[in-house]
Amino acid sequence: MKFFKRILCLTLSVIMISTMFVGCKKDDEKVKLRLSEVTHSVFYAPQYVAINKGFFEEEGIEIELSVGEGADKVMAAVLSGSIDIGLAGPEACIYVYNEGKENYPRVFGQLTQKDGSFLMGREKVENFDWNSLKGTTLLPGRKGGVPYMTLEYVVKSKGLVPGKDVIFDDSIQFALMAGAFTSGTGDFVTLFEPTASMLEKEGKGYILASVGEEAGEIPFTAYFASQDYMKKNPEIIKKFLRAIYKGQKWVMENSPEEVAKAMEPSFPDTDLDILTTVVERYKEIDAWSKTPVMKKEAFEKLQEVITMAGELDKKAVFEDVVDNSFAEEIIK
């Protein structure tokens, strides 16, 4: 009996020691986190800074980054569980919430607070007047997308009626808009960076106005995950947000030149001077959120924009769609 007790004690000791070592190993290992961004854009500068400056690595996270090519595709990947976290417009969460799904994804962090697109024309204009769009054709992107709806919101605020005063040609796919414009389609186009600055450098178009600056603060892109994932992995969510917050602060505290250098590995085919120009433009319009916390009033304005576009029948409850608890904890 004593021998059996000794064996039992030794066995339990081995199990306890093994468990301790396994625990240590897991703590040392990086957590692989599958992140899908709606598109690959300089607009998401704080995220790339967080990756390239090692902020995620400091939190023990290894980012597996993919491009979803559309908010609907990013949301589908989150719902299927093929990715852990999605980066897209929060309207994707609003739509799923309104469908009545039980495990609908929730927003837990914000990245950008302005529309990142710029209105471009074929001629350089010093003091652009939005009324000069009257009687012209504009390439606005995909109907139903937030860039389209935000532009529509701005145009209406200037007293113009889309479809009557200005023709919105939404037949061109988002990725093909720059090429279509330079080939002669439309009089004006809205483009994101660095495409807009590259076209201007080539003399194929001129930036006339910032859609985001005109529209005001709107939660344009945010991070979301399924409620199941967030409940099972609260520490991972907090570590992820901590890295993003470090990236946000770093972007705010450093010059456009330094931010551009930090982003360069994520955009190897883009000239450093173009990246610098882009960062400077986005800093000027205050495009990036200073913290990952989403403001309720900004969320309600987004819903106003979507409702005015005829894409939202019922407004979502902010507290149901957005969970600021993780972001509020990490910024304390």
Q: Compute the distance between CA of residue 316 and CA of residue 300 in angstroms, rounded to an integer.
A: 9
Render pLDDT for 201-260 as a digit per residue (tens, 0 to 9): 999 999 999 999 999 999 999 999 999 999 999 999 999 999 999 999 999 999 999 999
| Residue at token pair 């705010």 | 252
- Model confidence over 263-283: pLDDT tens digits? 999 999 999 999 999 999 999
Assess whether the region 31-114+218-330 and the region 118-215 belong to the same CATH fold: yes
pLDDT at 10: 30
Query: 270-327: per-residue pLDDT in tens?
Result: 999 999 999 999 999 999 999 999 999 999 999 999 999 999 989 999 999 999 999 9
Q: 118-215 — its CATH code? A: 3.40.190.10
pLDDT digits (tens, 9 = 90+) for 43-60: 999 999 999 999 999 999
Domain boundaries, the chain: 31-114+218-330, 118-215
CATH number of 31-114+218-330: 3.40.190.10
pLDDT, averaged across the chain: 90
Residues 88-111: what's their mean pLDDT?
94
Q: Confidence class of residue 16 from pLDDT cuts 50, 70 and 90?
A: very low
**Cis omega before residue 194 (within 30°)?**
yes
* Predicted pLDDT at 28: 58
- CA dist 263 and 51 (Å) reads 9
Cα–Cα distance, 78 to 238 (Å, whole number): 18
Provide the pLDDT for residue 133.
Answer: 97
* Cα 250 from Cα 177, distance rounded (Å): 32
Distance separating alpha carbons of residues 120 and 193, to the nearest angstrom: 12
The candidate with the shortest Cα–Cα distance to 237, out of 85, 104, 47, 105, is: 85
pLDDT at 11 > cutoff 50: no
DSSP states along 252-275: HHS-HHHHHHHHGGG-TTS-HHHH
Q: Which stretch of DSSP H or E encloses residue 63?
A: strand 61-67
Are the beta carbons of 166 and 148 closer than 8 angstroms? no
Which pLDDT tens digit goes with each residue over 120-136?
999 999 899 999 999 99
